[in-house]
Chain A
């Protein structure tokens, strides 16, 4: 029983990464009808930017002697990194996708793949092959509940993820920008008739998706401190699976499916030999998709942004 609960805690953490990344795939898809295959690499870039920001903040503390507590540095790192990474998304939309908006979807898809390769190899060229270690900004503490161990980091990771998802939900439901995004997911062409430029909504969507991926990157760095230029590939693909499984374009679906993926993987590794984890987990998901080809919240031929 304890082990079961322990696995639930672990699955919540693991699912948080998938959910945060899947949201970006889903939002961009619902608005522009394209999957941004560079999104996993934006997660990686976010982790590296987070590394840079955290290092700079630690350097600032060391230099000035202002005693900023670790948690504050972490929060600042998350906010600043999300902000910077959102511009990476805006840039990718502007340079990579906008010129191809009228092009066949396959061209837009390979654009994403190419941007991904550029980001990975560019990172390798600039920073070299050495692996960076993400600064551990807060000291690890472990709480014990019966036989279940919960670290403060796990609580933080899940808490920050859920908070960001809640904020996203509010933004999409309540703000006029969110309203425009919902409208655009329903009828792309009619949006300009409202006096709204698609070239403002599309970058915004990329910006938000990228910021969420960056947050995932930092949280991931807290849990698994070793950074690697290729860290976004597998995680990105799996989050993409979550986005599809949730129902293309469904925000709530993407988040739920992200957590579900986390659960399936963790429990597969618990029940079966851990080397078989992904074989089992993704066979299960394949099976689910056979029965629900449009995902959990997806409808045939509909891409509207749903919550």
Chain B
């Protein structure tokens, strides 16, 4: 087990958003969490990358290390967990290249950075054409590519993806998921959070269903795709 989450609870002020959820991911897997608006999907990812403190009683282990002891920047730089956040959060005042470079700020393996940059450009050739364009002026699809590219540069053991399909045209959505599959084949574990349940279930091998801060269901994606409850609630009947 690469990532093990037990009894994860998180709150915004006095309001609990996660009421003790459990899940785990093996190395090299693609796992997704689906759920409605406000179910707590983003909160889960924010807790893993330590942007949001977990409430006491939560247990989070990554490759045998206690995640709770890591600062958010160390989660990336020391554990190799990257996070493509909701809304992409690119640095719009920096160029495409600067955004990619910034993601390597804390990396010590300077030699492989150039190679990784080339790799990002071969995954997303569109980015290479826009190397010195300000990230803020990229189209929505290009921004999503840059957000993934940036995560690829920053840490590659586990990638947390928050709705990468958001705002993409269907064709682009498919090629984005193809690209993610490629990154996964290279050895990156992927935890994906999606509202687009059908797409997510086709992409991931296993899935969890999050409802109001509780894990409601889990299982192989194939099973969930045919589960009547899931069909009714998330796949439009």
Contact = CB atoms under 8 A, between A and B. Distances in A.
B104 to A, nearest CB: 8
A60 B71 CA distance: 46
Contacts of B85: 190, 193
A304 B93 contact: yes
A189 interface: yes
Interface string A49-64: 0000000000000000
B91 A195 contact: no
Q: Is the interface of B mostly helix, strand, loop or mixed?
A: loop
B106 A190 contact: no
A196 B106 contact: yes
B51 A192 contact: yes
B106 A195 contact: yes
Interface stretch (B10-18, B95-103, B184-192): B95-103
A196 B91 contact: no
A196 B104 CA distance: 9
Given A195-B73, A306-B93, A189 B51 contact: yes
A194 B93 contact: no
B27 to A, nearest CB: 21
A194 B103 contact: yes
B16 to A, nearest CB: 20
Interface residues of A, number: 21
B93 A182 contact: yes
Interface string A167-206: 0000000001001101101110111111111100000000
Contacts of A180: 102, 105
B105 A195 contact: yes
Nearest to B50: A192
Interface string B81-119: 011010001111110001001110111000000000000
B89 A179 contact: no
B94 A186 contact: yes
Contacts of A196: 73, 102, 105-106
Contacts of B49: 193
A192 B91 contact: no
- Smallest CB-CB A-B distances: 6 pairs: A195-B77, A192-B72, A195-B76, A195-B106, A190-B89, A197-B73
11 contacts: A180-B105, A182-B93, A187-B91, A189-B89, A190-B90, A192-B51, A192-B71, A192-B76, A193-B85, A194-B154, A197-B73
